[in-house]
Structures are given as structure tokens and as C-alpha cells.
Structure 1
Amino acid sequence: MEGSAESQPQERRTSWKKDPKAVRENILTIATEEFAAHGLSGANINEIARRTSTSKRMIYYYFGDKEGLYQHVLEGIYSSLRDTEKALNVADLEPVAALRKLTEATFDSHTNNPNFIRLVMIENIHNAEYVKKSAIIPNLNKTIIDKLTDVCLRGKASGVLREDADPLELHWMTSSASFYNVSNRATFSSSFGGRLYTKSGQKRLRKRVVDMVLGAVVIGYDPDSVP
């Protein structure tokens, strides 16, 4: 073990030179966990440095300061979620099937990304201060609205969607239920039990969210028409 403490800085410097992109990604991964767990003010840069393969000095080299790191984390997690939505190909689906697929994908992406939910909750505490500063996030959020706009236009033209179907309202409806499902899981299950958070309970809730969205805009929608 003797001399190992001296070798660690040299090993870190070598790893930075060999693969700086991997080091940067490692920092962002750990920082995402820390900010999601403790918030902007509660997260500790020293703890992030301890858990990564780098140092506090290198974190500041890549991201400027703690707020700069938080900004990159926020943009990264929005990018991850929106990239999933962007990859969805619904242009070839008929409007109702396309809307169903987008709604299901939004529910699933929220369920599978609890850190995104926590970070958005933190951002709301800060009155979206860092979202407002970002030049990236507004463009990322535009993708899902564009897809829903296309679905609404095609659905109205074919007579299957109501004329008042609005893409932004549909996104709000889907996101609100999907977000609440994750953000309030601890308090809801503590108050009412965990039945809705079993595998079958989540499958049922997912269908309920789809029924809610499609029922609001699909003319003559029958929730029992699709299992």
C-alpha cells in the first residue's frame, strides 16, 4: 500500500489525457445523482469529486463552477429524455395510433427516469432559473410538441380528432399524470398503500393515462376498443 497515495494523482492525470470525454461523462453521471438526491444547494462538489475518477480542480476545469455543472446536468437529462421521444417514428402511423404511442412513451420515459423528475422538481423550487438560462432546453422541448402538432393536424384532416385538439394541452395532460406518478410515489403510497405501484398497477395506470388523453380528443373514442 505504501506509495499508493502518491500514484493516484498520476493515474488520474493519465486517465484525463487518455479519454477526457469519458472523464467528463463520468462527472456528469455522478453529478446527476448527487443533484437529484440533494438539490443544487445540498450537493457537495467534494463528494462528486470523491465518487468520480477525477478531482475537484478538473470538475471546475470542465464546467466552470458548481452552478455550471448543475446547468450541464440539467441540460443533459432533458436531452436524454427528449432524445427518446425524438427517436419515436409516428409519422407513418394513423393519428390515433400515433397519439397512443406518444402518450405511452411519455409515461414510460417519466417512469424510467426518476432523476429527471427530481431535478425538474428542484428547478421548480428555483422558479426555473436554470431552465430559463439554457439555450438548449427550449429547443429540446420543441420536438415532442412538433410531433403532437403533426398528429393533431393529420387527425383533424381525417376527421378522427376534434377540431379543438391542441398539441400543447395534450402534452400537459400526459406529462402531468406521468410526472405525478413518479414525483408523488412516496407520499401517495404511504397514504394509500402501494397497490398502484405494483407491476400490474402501473400497467393499469398507463392505460388510464392513454384513455384520458385519447378520450379528450378522439371522436367516439372507446376505451375498451384496445386492450
Structure 2
Amino acid sequence: MATRDSILEAARAEFALRGLAGARVDEIAARAGANKRMLYAYFGSKEALWLTVLEGAYAAKRAEERALDVAALPPAEAMAQLVRFNLRYTAAHPEFVALLNQENLHQAEYLRHSERVPALYSPLLDTLRAVLARGEAGGDFRQGVDPLQLYVTIVALGHFYIANLHTLSTVFGAGLGEPAALAARERHCIEVVLGYLRA
């Protein structure tokens, strides 16, 4: 019998492929080896299932990000790790990009009902603030950097590249998803962020 987790896994794949509007509950249930009645018993509605999938996607990323333990690293290396992680995670999880792009098309209509996701990111900003403070104290980082703006920039450097990988590769006639291209992008992003932070 299908479990809640198997339904979530099937829903993640279907939503990433077709979005909220295009996904069909019948197809999600079939992928999970469940029936619609079981799906509705667990989640109540397709929209509630969408939000649960979205929250799970954010939580999975934050769990891996926390595991970096940047507090134990020198400030510059901590920042490099955050930049590296965000690019690599996005490249490894195209479903995360697809889900976020879809929710943005809905203008965060569903995400704004989540208490879970904002709570995940408050500790992240505290961690980033602590790394910035260590970097300032050691004379490595400039003063007055806004941790929210910095994090948005770090995420954007990776997310835009991966979200537009196919079009950028076509426009520039380059395989930007190839390992060497990703490594070059990673180096560039780290240089951009550390160059901005340099005292």
C-alpha cells in the first residue's frame, strides 16, 4: 500500500514536470501506487499537497546547507562553501528549480501560507550574520554587509544560471551544463562574492 512518502515523491516528480495547474491527481496517485481517496485522506487537496511538496523541497535544501557547518570554517572559506553549495545543489536538483519557478508564477500564493519555510531561513540569516561578523573582526570582510542581500545574491548567482541553462547554452553555443563549465561558473561565483566582501 502506498505511503504518505511515496505519494509525496510521486507528487514532487509530477509537479516538477507539469506544475500545479498541469499536474493531475490521478497521475500522482498512479505514480505512487495509490488511489485518489488515499491521497485526499493524507493531504486534503491538490493545493495542500503542492504546499507540502514545496515545503519539503525547501527543507531538504536547508538540511544539506546546515550540514556544511560553516561556523567551523574561516570566514572566506565559509562564504566559498555557501556559494559552491548553492550552485551545486541547484544543478543537482532541477526539480527544486522547477518547483520554485512554478510557485513564482503563482506569485507565492501557496508559500505565503507556510509557517515552516520562513522558520527554516531565520537561522540561516543568523549563521550568515555570524560569518560576516567574524570576517569583519578579522579584517577580511568589509563592514555593513546586509546578510539578506548577500544570501539573495549567492542564491541568484546559481539559480539564474541553472534555471536558464538550456537557453543560455543555445544562445552562446556552449554546453554550460558540462562539468567543466559548472566548475568554471563555481569559481567565478566565488570570486564575485569574495571580491565584494573583501575589506
Question: So what's the TM-score if we normalise by structure 2?
Answer: 0.96
Retained in 1: the 8 A contact 2:55–2:117?
yes
Task: Give the aligned length.
Answer: 199
Retained in 2: the 8 A contact 1:27–1:52?
yes
Distance in 2 of aligned mates of 1:191 and 1:148: 35
Q: Quote the residue 1:80 is aligned against.
A: 60
- Matches for 1:109-124 after TM superposition, within 5 Å: 109-124=89-104
Q: Quote the residue 2:146 is aligned against.
A: 166
Retained in 2: the 8 A contact 1:117–1:183?
yes
* Displaced runs of 4 or more, over 6 A: none
Q: Which of 61, 85, 104 is 1:105 aligned to?
A: 85
RMSD: 1.2
Retained in 1: the 8 A contact 2:168–2:176?
no
- Matches for 1:3-82 after TM superposition, within 5 Å: 15=1, 23-82=3-62
Retained in 1: the 8 A contact 2:176–2:182?
yes
Q: Quote the residue 2:126 is aligned against.
A: 146
Q: Quote the residue 1:213 is aligned against.
A: 193
Amino acid at match of 1:190: T
Distance in 2 of aligned mates of 1:74 and 1:185: 22
Q: Calculate percent identity across the aligned residue pairs.
A: 37
Amino acid at match of 1:39: G
Distance in 2 of aligned mates of 1:123 and 1:141: 17
Retained in 1: the 8 A contact 2:43–2:49?
yes
The offset of 1:146, in angstroms, is 2.0
**Whose relative contact order is higher, 1 or 2, with alpha carbons under 8 Å and at least 6 apart?**
2
Gaps of 5+ in 2: none
Distance in 1 of aligned mates of 2:40 and 2:54: 17
Distance in 2 of aligned mates of 1:143 and 1:105: 17
Amino acid at match of 1:160: D
Amino acid at match of 2:26: N
Amino acid at match of 2:57: I
Retained in 2: the 8 A contact 1:49–1:59?
yes
Distance in 2 of aligned mates of 1:145 and 1:80: 17
Gaps of 5+ in 1: 1-14, 17-22, 220-227
The offset of 1:109, in angstroms, is 1.2
Further displaced range: 80-89 or 191-200: 191-200
The offset of 1:153, in angstroms, is 0.9
Retained in 2: the 8 A contact 1:110–1:179?
yes
SS of residue in 1 equivalent to 2:110: helix
Retained in 2: the 8 A contact 1:104–1:210?
yes
Cα deviation 1:14-44 (Å, max 9, x = unaligned): x35xxxxxx1111101101111111111100
Q: Quote the residue 2:175 is aligned against.
A: 195
